[in-house]
Homo-oligomer: A and B are copies of this chain.
Amino acid sequence: MVKRTSHQSADCLIARPLDAIGDWWSLLIVRDAFDGMRRFGEFQRSLGVAKNILSARLRNLVAHGILETVPAPDGSAHHEYVLTEKGRGLFYVLVALRQWGETYFSGPGEPYTFMVDTRTGRPIRRLEVHAEDGRRLVPGETRLADFRQQPD
Protein backbone atom coordinates (compact mmCIF):
# COMPACT_ATOMS: atom_id res chain seq x y z
CA MET A 1 0.00 0.00 0.00
CA VAL A 2 1.48 3.27 -1.04
CA LYS A 3 -0.98 5.60 0.60
CA ARG A 4 -4.70 5.83 0.92
CA THR A 5 -6.09 6.45 -2.54
CA SER A 6 -6.80 10.08 -3.21
CA HIS A 7 -9.58 11.20 -5.50
CA GLN A 8 -8.15 14.66 -5.64
CA SER A 9 -7.21 14.53 -9.27
CA ALA A 10 -10.04 12.26 -10.29
CA ASP A 11 -11.86 13.40 -13.37
CA CYS A 12 -15.16 13.26 -11.55
CA LEU A 13 -16.90 16.03 -9.72
CA ILE A 14 -18.33 13.64 -7.18
CA ALA A 15 -15.02 11.99 -6.40
CA ARG A 16 -13.12 15.22 -5.89
CA PRO A 17 -15.46 16.54 -3.21
CA LEU A 18 -15.26 13.21 -1.44
CA ASP A 19 -11.56 13.72 -1.13
CA ALA A 20 -12.28 16.76 1.01
CA ILE A 21 -15.13 15.46 3.13
CA GLY A 22 -15.41 11.74 2.48
CA ASP A 23 -14.40 10.45 5.86
CA TRP A 24 -16.30 9.55 8.97
CA TRP A 25 -15.94 12.89 10.74
CA SER A 26 -15.67 15.85 8.41
CA LEU A 27 -19.35 16.19 7.57
CA LEU A 28 -20.26 15.96 11.23
CA ILE A 29 -17.89 18.80 12.00
CA VAL A 30 -19.48 20.82 9.22
CA ARG A 31 -22.91 19.97 10.56
CA ASP A 32 -21.92 21.25 14.00
CA ALA A 33 -20.49 24.35 12.39
CA PHE A 34 -23.88 24.99 10.78
CA ASP A 35 -25.33 24.68 14.26
CA GLY A 36 -23.09 27.49 15.40
CA MET A 37 -20.16 25.65 16.92
CA ARG A 38 -16.85 27.36 16.49
CA ARG A 39 -14.40 26.20 19.12
CA PHE A 40 -12.16 23.18 19.17
CA GLY A 41 -13.58 22.14 22.49
CA GLU A 42 -17.16 22.48 21.35
CA PHE A 43 -16.60 20.15 18.43
CA GLN A 44 -14.70 17.77 20.62
CA ARG A 45 -17.40 17.51 23.25
CA SER A 46 -20.17 17.34 20.68
CA LEU A 47 -18.60 14.59 18.61
CA GLY A 48 -16.63 12.72 21.23
CA VAL A 49 -13.82 12.37 18.75
CA ALA A 50 -10.21 11.99 19.83
CA LYS A 51 -8.43 15.30 19.90
CA ASN A 52 -5.71 14.30 17.50
CA ILE A 53 -8.28 13.21 14.96
CA LEU A 54 -10.31 16.37 15.38
CA SER A 55 -7.15 18.37 15.01
CA ALA A 56 -6.29 16.62 11.76
CA ARG A 57 -9.82 16.97 10.39
CA LEU A 58 -10.06 20.65 11.20
CA ARG A 59 -6.71 21.19 9.54
CA ASN A 60 -7.91 19.35 6.47
CA LEU A 61 -11.16 21.29 6.30
CA VAL A 62 -9.26 24.56 6.61
CA ALA A 63 -6.82 23.40 3.94
CA HIS A 64 -9.75 22.69 1.63
CA GLY A 65 -11.25 26.11 2.25
CA ILE A 66 -14.34 24.72 3.93
CA LEU A 67 -13.58 26.25 7.31
CA GLU A 68 -11.40 29.19 8.11
CA THR A 69 -9.86 30.28 11.36
CA VAL A 70 -10.69 33.66 12.81
CA PRO A 71 -9.40 35.27 15.98
CA ALA A 72 -11.56 34.56 18.98
CA PRO A 73 -13.90 37.45 19.67
CA ASP A 74 -13.38 37.14 23.42
CA GLY A 75 -9.86 38.39 23.02
CA SER A 76 -8.34 35.08 24.08
CA ALA A 77 -5.27 33.83 22.32
CA HIS A 78 -7.20 31.07 20.59
CA HIS A 79 -9.04 31.19 17.34
CA GLU A 80 -12.36 29.88 16.12
CA TYR A 81 -13.37 27.85 13.11
CA VAL A 82 -16.11 29.22 10.91
CA LEU A 83 -17.62 28.06 7.64
CA THR A 84 -16.51 29.74 4.47
CA GLU A 85 -18.90 30.26 1.59
CA LYS A 86 -17.61 27.02 0.14
CA GLY A 87 -18.35 25.34 3.43
CA ARG A 88 -21.85 26.77 3.54
CA GLY A 89 -22.31 25.25 0.09
CA LEU A 90 -22.42 21.89 1.82
CA PHE A 91 -25.82 22.75 3.21
CA TYR A 92 -27.63 20.86 0.47
CA VAL A 93 -25.46 17.82 0.93
CA LEU A 94 -26.36 17.78 4.61
CA VAL A 95 -30.04 18.31 3.96
CA ALA A 96 -30.02 15.48 1.42
CA LEU A 97 -28.20 13.22 3.81
CA ARG A 98 -30.53 14.14 6.64
CA GLN A 99 -33.67 13.49 4.62
CA TRP A 100 -32.29 10.17 3.50
CA GLY A 101 -31.49 9.42 7.13
CA GLU A 102 -34.98 10.40 8.24
CA THR A 103 -36.49 8.05 5.72
CA TYR A 104 -34.29 5.01 6.15
CA PHE A 105 -32.45 5.29 9.44
CA SER A 106 -35.14 6.14 11.91
CA GLY A 107 -35.07 3.33 14.38
CA PRO A 108 -38.28 1.42 14.98
CA GLY A 109 -40.07 2.85 17.97
CA GLU A 110 -38.09 6.04 17.72
CA PRO A 111 -40.07 9.22 17.33
CA TYR A 112 -39.97 10.29 13.73
CA THR A 113 -37.90 13.42 13.41
CA PHE A 114 -37.55 15.84 10.57
CA MET A 115 -36.03 19.14 9.66
CA VAL A 116 -38.27 22.08 10.34
CA ASP A 117 -38.70 25.60 9.12
CA THR A 118 -37.56 27.52 12.18
CA ARG A 119 -40.07 30.26 11.43
CA THR A 120 -43.14 28.06 11.51
CA GLY A 121 -41.91 24.90 13.17
CA ARG A 122 -43.38 22.92 10.29
CA PRO A 123 -41.43 20.27 8.39
CA ILE A 124 -39.59 21.43 5.32
CA ARG A 125 -40.27 19.93 1.92
CA ARG A 126 -38.27 17.08 0.53
CA LEU A 127 -35.57 17.96 -1.97
CA GLU A 128 -36.46 17.66 -5.60
CA VAL A 129 -34.44 17.85 -8.79
CA HIS A 130 -35.84 20.09 -11.49
CA ALA A 131 -35.04 20.67 -15.13
CA GLU A 132 -34.45 24.15 -16.41
CA ASP A 133 -38.08 24.34 -17.50
CA GLY A 134 -39.29 23.29 -14.06
CA ARG A 135 -40.14 19.65 -14.81
CA ARG A 136 -39.35 17.41 -11.91
CA LEU A 137 -36.61 14.92 -12.75
CA VAL A 138 -36.14 11.44 -11.41
CA PRO A 139 -32.81 9.59 -11.29
CA GLY A 140 -32.87 8.22 -14.81
CA GLU A 141 -33.49 11.64 -16.31
CA THR A 142 -30.20 13.23 -15.46
CA ARG A 143 -26.77 11.71 -15.37
CA LEU A 144 -24.39 11.94 -12.49
CA ALA A 145 -21.44 11.22 -14.71
CA ASP A 146 -19.64 14.07 -16.34
CA PHE A 147 -21.06 15.68 -19.39
CA ARG A 148 -18.71 18.21 -20.85
CA GLN A 149 -19.93 21.14 -22.82
CA GLN A 150 -18.82 24.70 -23.24
CA PRO A 151 -21.35 27.05 -21.70
CA ASP A 152 -22.70 29.29 -24.46
Contact = CB atoms under 8 A, between A and B. Distances in A.
A99 B148 CA distance: 14
Interface residues of A, number: 81
A125 B120 contact: no
A138 B92 CA distance: 10
> Oligomeric state, in number of copies?
2
Nearest to A150: B111
B18 A28 contact: yes
Contacts of A20: 105
B97 A148 contact: no
A120 B144 contact: no
A51 interface: no
A28 B13 contact: no
A96 B95 contact: yes
Contacts of A112: 150-151
Contacts of A65: 104
A117 B137 contact: yes
Nearest to A15: B28
A78 interface: no
7 contacts: A17-B97, A17-B101, A35-B143, A92-B127, A118-B143, A119-B131, A125-B131
